[in-house]
Amino acid sequence: MARSQEDAPAPRLPIVVVSGLPRAGTSLLMQMLAAGGFPVLADGARPPDASNPRGYYEWAPARRLAREPEAIRAARGRAVKVISALLGALPEDERYLVLFAERDPEEIELSQRRMLARLALARGEPAPADDGVDAAALAAHVAQVRAWLDAEAQRQRFSVLEVRHESVMTAPNAAAARIASFLVPVCAAIGVSLDLTAMAAAVEPRLHRARIRAPRRDAAAPSTPPARRAPPPRRP
């Protein structure tokens, strides 16, 4: 006997992965999602500090994905932060929507060095003389990860939205709208309507402290409409 539509198994929800290098803006993207009403997977084990006063939004099992990749299944229908070096550990039988944070590698280098110095100071130690952070190496890593993501997108396992840190800082309304548009399929599946105004309000430009170049407004920013609430998703 044929199974009724009601008896068919529910489709597996995709996993929203917020990724990038440390200090590239991944915490900010998680903060925007949480403010907009998207469910996030975070445990609060790493509290806010001087380097990230609004919180890291980390989930401890994500740091163990190389050994325990199946843990990521707990993030179905939610957003979780995974550093770019661990993207390759994600199980192949899941579907991922990746928000990939990108930032000037020189700014990342400066931000990482400042964070390492603060951590050393908190331990009563001097700042490390050679912290191993190098902008060229960071840029090479990002290029390698982007090439890998492109290949995975061709296999239709990943959908990827690259989010520039500078663009989020200078045009948060437009950034919120791009992110909401990218997440329409999963928002529809879980019945979430993102609050774009709250997402944009989560961006605090004064926290853009490790800046190499003078800030500039995006060319499209003056014509960007005010942030708004995304329309209610259609049920599948």
Sign of CA dihedral 126, 129, 135, 141: negative
**For residue 163, which amino acid is it?**
V
Other residues' Cβ atoms within 10 Å of the Cβ of residue 63: 16
| DSSP per residue, 78-100 | SEEE--GGGGGGS-TTS-EEEEE
Distance CA 109, CA 134 (A): 6
Per-residue 3-state assignment (H helix, E strand, C coil) for 47-76: CCECCECCCCCCCHHHHHCCCCHHHHHHHC
CB 65 within 8 A of CB 26: no
Task: List the pLDDT tens digit at each of the 236 positions of the chain.
Answer: 455 455 555 578 999 999 999 889 999 999 999 999 999 999 988 888 777 888 889 999 999 999 999 999 999 999 999 999 999 999 999 999 999 999 999 998 887 788 777 777 777 877 766 666 788 999 999 999 999 999 998 888 899 999 999 999 999 999 999 999 999 999 999 999 999 999 999 998 876 544 566 555 443 443 334 444 444 444 43
**CATH tag, 12-223:** 3.40.50
The reported pTM is 0.81
Contact residues for 152 (Cβ-Cβ < 8 A; gap 6+): 158
